[in-house]
Homo-oligomer: A and B are copies of this chain.
């Protein structure tokens, strides 16, 4: 969780920083000899690093929170005092605050505390030190703060972990106490409830429970292995994207996962991203790289045959794994992996075709995310007008392209965010953000224009007059990385996949051995109808089977015992069934024919059901 820069503090951040001071003040009452480090603002709260006579436990949190509440009730002033550097050093030395002295000494010697920018609120400037008083508590601090402690909102201490002073292992080890801070108790409660919900929905937990993917110590972290259930999910998602693309004239292509480095030297990626690539030295001493993206390879398919304006646009798509050399410590579940499956696409088109092609992609994105009930918002990511030197290509091309994207954005949505400086270096883009069912916002799909690579690879087509003209590329992945999309989608649905996406749509749960055969017949009947039915043939009790099917979140469950199985052992469309519908407490009575029709309809319409 990154700390925020004091320069970027808004009203809420100011309050959160004051909350950090109240925590430090409470700590000083609990441990008068505590030595304080730094205490910056982070997302949803703050932390404070400190050296204490004993390890803090979460049991101490209650007492600290009580003291903080008392400090708030006293409604103390946050009072600023300026002090010459040498005086400040003497002041903190007298109080035994060695870390503050360390900061001030650096500030005096070097004109800087050598803290990371975002931790640097706890200091003065080069000439004088700035201190903040709250009652008898005093801290080295540039501010800003709220005026009185009564203005500090709702606080809850979260956790404690270890941290080295200045982040260096050779320095003293401190304790870092994290806290949440919100303007109101309601907002804090809502946040805690959201976290609790998020914890329940953690995709790593659901993935394990439902057997969607696994990791192996022998294969390594960040390299998920997809089980049959997870692979089916991936395929259903990917088939859906393909269905949406196919009607717009996309064609599948296929490329290898490696290339000579020359490809990336030409594209410009080698110079910019070489250290993020997995590199291979072949037995013939050639230098190869694993592909971190697909565009350079795709340009080579486009370039294989000369193109006429009549063939444009050319739309390639491919779902394939790309690889990036991430630090092992950064890998987490499906959110951050080494093997990234992209549902990638590249449209090679003329300048005049950008709008139509981008609109088609937007349609696909809207339809796809709408199917899951995600709420989308949009940002137009443009050049930074103050730094034209950061971007490749002629300004007039940029203007045309930005105008073209802006036109689409304005035509399609009323509320959109303007993002000057958010463009890629090779072109502007439209970014889509999805809000999930517990209110979290994830950046998802993107429509990117690219002048740069077509030029580097000399891509062109022959226009109506027989002249060569440069080609423009649009990059677009709908899911982006399937792994990351799945992590978001699993948490959004809480693992309750809609019928069309559920790896098993129907669970058949025979009560006893003698019900196995008729259950298998029923399963075959469902399968013949194109449905995904699963028969639990284990010798567990039916109660355990029911719980198992529930844990797997299978939309429809059928207990098959003497009461349910027809005497003839044969199933017909009119056979009455007691169907356990996911999310309903009581079984629903319907005929076999009705059940089949219902599951088929929910699949065909990709309904958010049952």
Interface residues of A (CB under 8 A from B): 211, 214, 216-220, 223-228, 230-232, 234-235, 251-260, 262-263, 266, 275, 278-284, 286, 288, 290, 296-297, 300-301, 303-305, 308, 310, 316, 318, 321, 323, 325, 327-328, 338-339, 341, 537-539
Asked if B288 and A283 make an inter-chain contact with CB atoms under 8 angstroms apart, the answer reads: no
Contact of A259 among B211, B220, B305 (CB under 8 A): B220
Contact of A538 among B214, B219, B300, B310 (CB under 8 A): B310
Q: A218-B300, A321-B257, A323-B257 are in contact. Are A278 and B275 (CB under 8 A)?
A: no
Asked if B280 and A214 make an inter-chain contact with CB atoms under 8 angstroms apart, the answer reads: no
Q: How far is the CB of A347 from chain B (nearest CB, A)?
A: 13
Q: Which residues in B have their C-beta under 8 angstroms from that of A259?
A: 218-220, 223
* 10 extra A-B contacts, CB within 8 A, seeds A216-B304, A256-B339, A258-B290: A220-B260, A225-B253, A225-B254, A225-B256, A226-B255, A228-B252, A234-B254, A256-B321, A257-B290, A283-B327
- State the main secondary structure of chain A at its contact with B: mixed
Q: A219-B263, A282-B278 are in contact. Are A338 and B256 (CB under 8 A)?
A: yes
Q: Which residues in B have their C-beta under 8 angstroms from that of A235?
A: 252
Q: A288-B278, A328-B286 are in contact. Are A300 and B256 (CB under 8 A)?
A: no
CA distance A233 to B310 in the complex (A): 24
CA distance A263 to B225 in the complex (A): 13
Q: How far is the CB of A249 from chain B (nearest CB, A)?
A: 11
Q: A228-B316, A252-B232, A278-B258 are in contact. Are A284 and B223 (CB under 8 A)?
A: no
- A-B CB contact pairs (8 Å), 6 listed: A216-B304, A225-B255, A226-B255, A226-B301, A228-B252, A232-B252
Asked if A305 and B255 make an inter-chain contact with CB atoms under 8 angstroms apart, the answer reads: no
Asked if A537 and B310 make an inter-chain contact with CB atoms under 8 angstroms apart, the answer reads: yes
Asked if B284 and A328 make an inter-chain contact with CB atoms under 8 angstroms apart, the answer reads: yes
Asked if A219 and B297 make an inter-chain contact with CB atoms under 8 angstroms apart, the answer reads: yes
Q: How far is the CB of A365 from chain B (nearest CB, A)?
A: 23
Asked if B228 and A258 make an inter-chain contact with CB atoms under 8 angstroms apart, the answer reads: no
Q: Which residues in B have their C-beta under 8 angstroms from that of A219?
A: 255-256, 259-260, 263, 297, 300
Q: Which residues in B have their C-beta under 8 angstroms from that of A256?
A: 219, 223-225, 321, 323, 338-339
Asked if B218 and A263 make an inter-chain contact with CB atoms under 8 angstroms apart, the answer reads: yes
CA distance A290 to B256 in the complex (A): 12
Q: Which residues in B have their C-beta under 8 angstroms from that of A211?
A: 304-305
CA distance A496 to B570 in the complex (A): 48
Q: How far is the CB of A420 from chain B (nearest CB, A)?
A: 33
Q: Which residues in B have their C-beta under 8 angstroms from that of A275?
A: 283
